[in-house]
Structure 1
């Protein structure tokens, strides 16, 4: 595993100095993770930010009725964390787990803020990524709360075509806020 995908990904957002590259290589730890491996468990602080070199991760919570609700998936060249817990170093109410065998890089909270605060270039890239993340979650909230079933399925098909091939019906349903049975009955819409 290496840091090249991460560095290349970040360079699309702005200039990265040699010192930034050194910090990235020093602080982002490579790790191979297995399918179903839990990376961050519920009730523990989410003190890591993950970058996916290959594979697939997700973050989810469990409702009072015991239903899994997937908030986000992360595939190659994507980040994933619980930003609220990561930022404030407080209790986390989600689980981050591995959907497929994956190769990831992770950085702990203290190291992350150390390199962000020491590099204006990386800080600017972080701001751009936060804005993209916020836009995504605003749209996703709109989809989950105002779209009818057909429009939710169309959103999934148009915005996440690769996930349709990679994930089972239960995971796709949990991402759309649906139960599996409703999803299966209506997935012929694709």
Structure 2
């Protein structure tokens, strides 16, 4: 149950088995169904998730009622609604598993306890935040400049899981396109 989390930690920081066991003891397994909500807009996020199997999607609804996907967390990654988790204010997005998933869940209190008391976990926390910032900046600046066909090429090059595991509707909402436009562009590539 914890082997993927242990592998994730070992790949990022030097740690012994006792410390790994201590870290893992704070996580609980949660199995979810397809399209199960982990967080709804307006709720306060109190949990962080490590994806053993499956995928978590973070999205919001536009004023027109369309979904706008911000991020996908696949296997071997941590995911949460970071802003709400850190500042304990209502989330402006939804968090949902989009396929049956196995998640390792840690509460906010336990998460920050580990950050403060286990240097290796504090290091991983900084890495998670840095990577999240870099990915969001890449997406913002990349997508502002690119034409629709270039966005699809970018996904093919940098995030192929999106096109192989997700519906056109979800990928289109991530790229800021309609599903019909995405289908048309995919057929051209």
- TM-score tier, shorter chain, comes to over 0.9
Distance 1:86 1:71 in 2: 16
The within-5 A match list for 1:96-115 is 96-115=95-114
Distance 2:143 2:106 in 1: 31
- Three-state SS of the structure 1 residue aligned to 2:96 is strand
Counterpart residue number, 1:7: 6
Cα deviation for residue 122 of structure 1 reads 1.4
Q: TM-score, normalised by structure 1?
A: 0.94
Q: If the length of structure 2 is used for normalisation, what is the TM-score?
A: 0.95
Structure 1: gaps spanning 5 or more residues: none
3-state SS of paired residue (1:27): coil
For 2:118, the equivalent position in structure 1 comes to 119
Q: Following superposition of structure 1 onto structure 2, how do residues 28-67 of structure 1 map, counting pairs within 5 Å?
A: 28-67=27-66
Structure 2: segments with no counterpart, 5+ residues: none
Match of 2:173 in 1: 174
- Aligned counterparts of 1:138 and 1:25: Cα–Cα separation in 2: 31
Provide the rounded CA distance (Å) in 1 between the counterparts of 2:72 and 2:93. Answer: 13
Q: Residues of 2 paired with 1:23 and 1:42: CA distance?
A: 33
3-state SS of 2:12 partner = coil
Corresponding residue of 2:131? 132
Using the TM superposition, give the Cα deviation of residue 19 of structure 1 relative to its aligned residue in structure 2, in angstroms.
4.5
Q: How many residues align?
A: 189
